[in-house]
Amino acid sequence: MTDLYGKSYPFQPQDWIEGVNMTSLREGRLARTKAELFDKHQFGALLSLNEWNTRYITATYTPPWTTPSSGLRYSLLLRGDSHPIIYEQGDISYHTQRNSPWLPENNVRYAITGMGWIARCMGDSAHKAAVVRFVDQIFTELKRAGVHKEVLAMDFADPFITEAFAAKGVKTSSDGFMAMLAARKNKLPEEIECLRNTCTVGDAMFQALVDTAKPGVSENEILGEAFKACYTNGGEVHSGVFCTSGPYTWPNLRHSTGRRLAHGDSLYMDVYNTSWNGYKTCYYRTFSMGEPSQATKAAYQRAYDWLYDAISVIRPGITTADIAARWPAGPDVWGDIGVVHEDQTAGNNWAHGIGLTLYEPPLVWRGCSLEHPMEIEEGMTFAIETQEGDGEGQGVRIEEVIHVTKTGVEILSRWPIKEITVINC
């Protein structure tokens, strides 16, 4: 990895710079999972079809087409066992075994293809037969561990699977999903470092935008260079990233159109779902093709003030209501785009937890937080974002990625934010 100035940045562990201690990362995540599932909730085991929970538990990875909750791969964590079992899709298990020395050899198994949403593609009889094989496979391990008469937590809900387990006398609970969200909401130091690295990849993508954006260049050309910068710098894009410009910046289209840029355009890019080592970012910056108008500058200042006014109150012990209250009511400021109810502002001035997935606890938004607050805790990480229109048909959007510390916040995103980044053209 090189930084914006071409200097080497050691993401991967080396003999003289440890970087991210992957062993501590794997062991810490597994310990938190066990504490949540077995100590707090007293489950006997967790059966996970959710790719990100499986990655959190097993530190294994397969291509994004296996996600989410396809059932093409799954994992099982049993109380009393030191290590989880990963049931891998097809012959990918060959690579999983040799790439995962932290898992005992017998803990990498083959998956019964046909669980999750993929099951509906097989036809009724094939699906039913696969469910039988799947439940038999899991029940064997539950019995071996002596937890077959205890509650099996699952991070999905499937009536066919639930009924098949019930026929064997196994009680199931879909509360495994919420338990895993709880286990993952407060980040380990190694996870924070992964998120820092992901933000640095995002910086490289913004630099690609600045280097590429010129009058006549399309949004798609910018995206191509941004994706190249991501992969050049060790990142990966999981179904995300967009660049939007001109009239599509207000309200936020949240997608690219391929439009070609012109002088005077506002444009912004969100590098959301860009990841490093699986850890995602969601990170907006606004740019201007030439000097922005005074109206656009004023809109940017409002969005900036909303963002940092909210950030200024964040510390352990406050609630999401305290954050959301720093933002104006949507109908009061966005009548120009027809906003009359907060449900129309979802995704605008808000914040969302971030980690292995784009959305983790907490979620901050006037539409839910004022009446249903959540407590902010040390170790939470989330993206916090604001937007505003300039009254001239364009808008601005900005976002920071933050880590809640003992006394306040650490801002992990580093691209300059005090003013709009001007692209001279």
The mean per-residue pLDDT over the stretch 97-102 comes to: 95
Largest CA distance in the chain: 70
CA–CA separation, 3 and 351 (whole Å): 27
Label each residue of the chain as H, E or C: CECCCCCECCCCCCCCCCCCCHHHHHHHHHHHHHHHHHHHCCCCEEEECCHHHHHHHHCCCCCHHHCCCCCCCEEEEECCCCCCEEEECCCHHHHHHHHCCCCCHHHEEECCCCCHHHHHHCCHHHHHHHHHHHHHHHHHHHHHHCCCCCCEEECCCCHHHHHHHHHCCCCEECCHHHHHHHHHCECCHHHHHHHHHHHHHHHHHHHHHHHHCCCCCEHHHHHHHHHHHHHHCCCEECCCCEEEEHHHHCCCCCCCCCCECCCCCEEEEECCCEEECCEEECCEEEEEECCCCHHHHHHHHHHHHHHHHHHCCCCCCCEHHHHHCCCCCHHHHCHHHCCCCHHHHCCCCEEEECCCCCCEEEEECHHHHCCCCCECCCCEEEEEEEEEECCCCCEEEEEEEEEECCCCEEECCCCCCCCCEEECC
CA distances from 312 to 330, 341, 384, 402 (A): 21, 26, 12, 12
pLDDT at 3 over 50: no
pLDDT at 118: 74
Q: What are phi and psi of 414, to 5 degrees?
A: -120, -10
CB 191 within 8 A of CB 383: no
The mean per-residue pLDDT over the stretch 287-301 comes to: 98
Give the bridge partners for 388, in sequence order: 396
pLDDT at 235 over 90: yes
pLDDT at 13: 65
Average pLDDT, the chain: 94
pLDDT at 65: 80
Choose the weakest-confidence range: 67-76, 186-195, 288-297, 379-388.
67-76
Peptide bond into 104 cis (omega under 30): no
For strands 108-110 and 85-88, give the pairing. parallel
From the list 220, 219, 222, the residue with the least C-alpha distance to 211 is 222
pLDDT at 396 over 50: yes
Q: 7-22 pLDDT, tens per residue?
A: 334 456 678 888 899 9
- Distance from chain centroid for Cα 1: 22
Domains of the chain: 22-184 (3.40.350.10), 189-423 (3.90.230.10)
Task: List b or e across 106-134, with b for residues whose CB sees 16 or more CB atoms inside 10 angstroms.
Answer: ebbbebbbbbbebbeeeeeeebeebbeeb
Residue 22, judged by CB atoms within 10 A of its CB (0-12, 13-18, 19+), counts as middle
What 3-state DSSP class applies to 154? strand
The mean per-residue pLDDT over the stretch 311-315 comes to: 98
Q: 251-284 pLDDT, tens per residue?
A: 999 999 999 999 999 999 999 999 999 999 999 9
Alpha helices (runs of H) in 185-235, residue ranges in sequence order: 189-212, 219-232
pLDDT at 301: 98
